[in-house]
Amino acid sequence: MICITYKSLYECLFACGSSPAWRSIQAPSKCGRNHIQSSLTKLTLNFMDGKTKTEILEELWREARTRFSNQLLHLTQQDLTRKLNGTQNSIGFLIRHVGDVELLFAKNVFGADLQVKAKTLIAQRDTGEWTDLDELNSYVQYAAQTLESSISSQTDHDWEKIITTKEFGSKTLAESLGRIISHTAHHGGQIAIVLKYAPAAEASFV
């Protein structure tokens, strides 16, 4: 049985910045802290059940991604052009961007053998073309499957190796996983805010 403390779990799973990870997670709300503690309790039990580090981290990624994927369940075609007044990025753009970055991580960080055309990063702006709901859903499902397959192919030892990219410097593979988890959840939160505060009638591309 593996014995591991809450603090060491925090440090292992949430270390994705230059400051100490334990200090960086003191900000979440009480609700957020309760959610994290509940998740870590389940993860501790999983360690006790003899799961590998890769299996635990894969479960963490899969659960965290629901903060994004759950936003897509009830979207309509009309929702894709919605955005907050005074902002540039529509829901359709944000969905495509999540898929683009997940595929880049699968290739450049986790070693997947694939070609990626990250159109949202190439354009550096919302071009207004992301209006096909079925196509976007298929794209992000493919991105999720590809990234999950890449994560599951790692050995427990692999999570300690150093990955260097021009985007975020040198990180362990575990820290790099924290980057993609937070990136996808961040944009999932943006989509939730747009859906809540940007009426479809007000949405338009300029």
Rg, Å, the chain Cα set: 18
End-to-end CA distance of the chain: 59
Q: What is the mean pLDDT of the chain?
A: 82
Per-residue confidence (pLDDT) for residue 37, from 0 to 100: 61
- The pLDDT tens digits for 74-89 are 999 999 999 999 899 9
Among 12-26, 68-82, 115-129, 173-187, the range scoring the smallest mean pLDDT is 12-26
In a domain, 1, yes or no: no
Look at 84 and 15; give whichever has higher pLDDT.
84
Q: Is residue 100 part of a domain?
A: yes
Token pair in block for residue 50: 């003899």
Task: Specify the higher pLDDT residue, 200 or 118.
Answer: 118
- Residue 167, pLDDT score: 84
Q: 80 exposed, middle or buried (CB, 10 Å; 0-12, 13-18, 19+)?
A: buried
**Average of pLDDT values for 150-163?**
97
Residue 9 lies in a domain: no
**Any domain includes 91:** yes
User: In this structure, what CATH number is given to the domain that contains residue 114?
Assistant: 1.20.120.450
Asked whether residue 144 is domain-assigned, the answer is yes
Residue 188 domain-assigned (yes or no): yes
Between 186 and 43, the higher pLDDT residue: 186
**For range 105-131, the mean pLDDT:** 96
pLDDT at 6: 37
pLDDT (tens digit per residue) in 157-171: 999 999 998 888 999
Domain membership flag for residue 92: yes
The number of folded domains in the chain is 1
**Phi (first) and psi of residue 171, to 5 degrees:** -140, 155
Indicate whether 15 pLDDT > 70: no
Over the stretch 50-70, which tens digit does the pLDDT of each residue have? 899 999 999 999 999 999 999
Classify residue 168: in a domain, yes or no. Answer: yes
Non-local (6+) Cβ contacts of 119 within 8 A are 96, 100
Residue 171: give the domain boundaries.
52-202
